[in-house]
Each structure stands twice: as structure tokens, then as C-alpha cells.
Structure 1
């Protein structure tokens, strides 16, 4: 049998598994909640999507986006795994998630029917932060956050001590598939911003769909870590 990670031998095991599944569920639902919520609670109409997940900061769904990112950040800060590396990765991901939440992406015209008045706190640090600076911090935080999520899936979640159970091997396959999907999304996003951002491809909102796919892979990975599927017997 495998050696469980430290949280699985703790009396709060059920709470930890529930938290993991909750975080996974939030990752799966976030893109859907943002799109549907913006259409239900504002004049936004399908298929008027924002260009990215982060673009929903400038819609009626701003509070939901920031709130979910803060919930995820709080859990990642408290995350424990096999070793100190797990804890450090969790705390780093916490910082990156807060960076995404509180340093919004730039919003350029033309605005859509989903858009509300753009908000940029350019005065945050005595006027030293410009719109461009805030946006760059946002993109850097987002890239590092997805990279850390990929590290979780490919490296941290697949670790075990001793002989792996059959269910653990199945879970590891899911972790690796999700990690590869997130890595591919990061690579394709980089390629798009480098070569294709100002082409007709932008009308299809590739950034939104790639970010959504990466979030869904993240969600499945964490749901699996919470033993939503392929749970070890006993």
C-alpha cells in the first residue's frame, strides 16, 4: 500500500478531502459561473464573451471572480502535502492567485455589452503603478499560477512512498493528463500573445477558451486529489 500524505492521517481527513473537492469544483465552475452570471445579471448576451477569464473583472461578475480567487488562495496557503516543497508551492500559488485577483488585467476598447466601467487603482502605490504596470503584474501572476498548478499535478500529486495501489495509479494518470493539458494551454497562450494576438483569431476568444480549459484541468486534478473518484478502499 502507499503511504498516505500527512493530511490523510489527520483527524481532519474528511475536512481536507472536502476542501480539495471544493477547490476542484470551483475551478470547474468558475468559467461557467462568470459567463452565465454576466448574462443573467447584466445586459450581456451570448456569444458576447470577454476576451479572457480575467476580463470578467470588468463585468458585473467582478466580485465573484475576486472572491473565488481569494478562497482558492486561502486554501492554498494552508495546504499541506508530503513535504516542505508542497507547503512552499501552496504558499507561492496563494501569492500568485492574490496577484491575479487584485491586479486586474487591462481593458481596451471596444467595450462589449458585458462591460462595466473599467476600474484601475493607479494610485495604489502613491501613483507609481500605471495601468500598464498593473496589467503586467496580472499577466505574470496568472502565468506563474498556472505553472504552479501544473507543478502540483505533474510532480506533487503523483508522489507516493512505498508500493502504489491500483487506485493510486489511476489517479496518477489523471494528474499527468491534467498537468499536460495545463502545460499545453500555457504554451499555446504564450504562442498566441507572441504571434497571433492582433490577427482575426482574436475574434474567437482563444485566451478565454485556453484559460477555461486549464481551469477545468485544474479542477479535475484537485477533485481527484480529494478522492472524488478512484478512492482507495479503507
Structure 2
């Protein structure tokens, strides 16, 4: 989809021609890219508002986004991450030799791990039965019962770290691509998004070590929300940049 690779540009008249099958496929690709960004921005909002509006579970900010797996929003949480993971892993399948493809593939596989390898159940009392014991405690997933609650949680956070750091790298690649196409403003914003994600990860580590909490918001929750919002903005901006580049090719 990078027109610079072939030295040709997708003509504007074709991009607006809804009767051309090639145009329909290009539009589908652009919509998929946009959906990834929208999911990133809406995920925290959907989790909170879903409990309040749909399932009437009351508004409650949890210790992390991952904790919504163990809530009434479990199905929507897993579905959103699963769709995001599949889109990330496949959307650049036609460009397997690019670094953006590999980082996107890694991010997609990692977020699938986040979805299907849940974190520990929150609010467990001392001495409570852990997943993996017999009979199976309430609220355990098959993965937790098979591998144990702590092991599954360790794998979950490893996948989450790989996912978030891969997103930071993808944003930096978006910045490089925008700069190459002389979209300097977009390149600057993409670098900012990449930096925000990295800073958020550092903030999570520091906040957890110092046991900080702000108005019942944990460093982990804040860092996750900031990261996925920066990721969503980055992808929406990249989609807008690519759409404009295809519709208005530069010499």
C-alpha cells in the first residue's frame, strides 16, 4: 500500500470511483486500519460505560483494564482484544518484508495472549483456593485452571508488555513514514504518541514500585489507558495520512 515502493500513485479519480473493484478493496483496507484505532480509544470507555448502561453493574474503575476479564464485561473485553489482535496480525500480510508488518504481527499475537491468558482474579482473600486446584474455583478460565493462576498472570503481563512496546515502535515507524512523505506535522505527533507509550510503561513500573495511587486509580490502570489512547490516536492519524496520500498523491 506504500506508493513510494513502486514509484506510482493511486489516482484520485480511482479512489473515488465506487464502481471500481480495486477501489472497494482499498477502502476496505482503510476502514480496517481506522477500526484498530477506534478500538484503542474506545476500550476504556466501553468497559466503564458498559457496566453502567448495559449491565447495570455500577461505575467502577478497576485496578487495571485486564481486571475487566473478571467482571460482567468479560465477553466484550475478550471480543474487543481478539478482534484487535486479528486485525493487527493480518492487516499488512501483503508486505511481509517490512518492519511494520513484523511489529504489527508481534503486537497482534501478544494482544491475543492478553485476551486469552487472564490476570489473577481480583479481591481474593488469604487462603482462598487458587485456579488449578480441584474442584475448580469460581471465576477461573480454562487457561488458569490448566497452567495455574500465577503462571497465567505472568504470561498475561509479559504479553501486555510486548503488545504495548510493539505499539510504541509501530508509532515511531509511522512517524518515519510520514516524514518521508513530507507530512512533518503528522510525523511529530506520531513521535509524541510513541514517546507517551514508553513514558506510560515507565510510569507503571515506577508507580507499582512506589505503591502510588491517585483517587483510587492505580498506576497500572492509568498507564494502560494512556497507552491505548496514544495507540488509537496514532493509528487514526496514520489512516488519515494514508487516505490523504492516496487521494492526493505527491510527485
The bucket for the TM-score relative to the shorter chain is: 0.7 to 0.9
Distance 1:60 1:153, change over 3 A: same
Q: Which residue is 1:132 aligned to?
A: 150
Structure 1, unaligned runs of 5 or more: 112-116
> Superposition pairs for residues 175-194 of structure 1, below 5 Å?
175-194=190-209
Distance 1:110 1:200, change over 3 A: farther
Superposition RMSD on alpha carbons, in Å?
Answer: 2.9
Native 8 Å contact 1:103 1:134 kept in 2: yes
1:227 counterpart SS class: helix
Question: 1 CA distance for matches of 2:180 and 2:144?
Answer: 56
Match status 1:24 vs 2:41: no
Deviation at 1:37, TM superposition (A): 0.3
Match status 1:121 vs 2:142: yes
The structure that has the greater radius of gyration is 2
Q: Which residue is 1:39 aligned to?
A: 52
Question: 1 CA distance for matches of 2:190 and 2:181?
Answer: 15
Question: 2 CA distance for matches of 1:79 and 1:145?
Answer: 16
Deviation at 1:79, TM superposition (A): 2.7
Native 8 Å contact 1:224 1:230 kept in 2: no
1:50 counterpart SS class: coil
Distance 1:30 1:123, change over 3 A: closer
2:176 counterpart SS class: coil
State the aligned residue count. Answer: 218
> Superposition pairs for residues 66-215 of structure 1, below 5 Å?
66-80=78-92, 83-109=97-123, 118-121=139-142, 127=146, 129-154=147-172, 156-160=173-177, 164-165=181-182, 168-196=183-211, 203-215=216-228
Q: Which residue is 2:74 aligned to?
A: 62
Distance 1:202 1:158, change over 3 A: same
Question: 1 CA distance for matches of 2:55 and 2:34?
Answer: 30
Deviation at 1:200, TM superposition (A): 5.5
Native 8 Å contact 1:175 1:221 kept in 2: yes
Deviation at 1:76, TM superposition (A): 1.1
Question: 2 CA distance for matches of 1:36 and 1:49?
Answer: 10
Question: 2 CA distance for matches of 1:174 and 1:204?
Answer: 27
Distance 1:226 1:70, change over 3 A: same
Per-residue CA deviation, residues 122-147 of structure 1 (Å, 9 max, x unaligned), is 566xx4x1100000000110011000
Q: Which has the higher contact order (CA 8 A, sep 6+)?
A: 1
Deviation at 1:221, TM superposition (A): 0.3
Question: 2 CA distance for matches of 1:50 and 1:179?
Answer: 25
Deviation at 1:29, TM superposition (A): 0.5
Structure 2, unaligned runs of 5 or more: 11-21, 126-137
Distance 1:122 1:225, change over 3 A: closer
Q: TM-score, normalised by structure 2?
A: 0.76
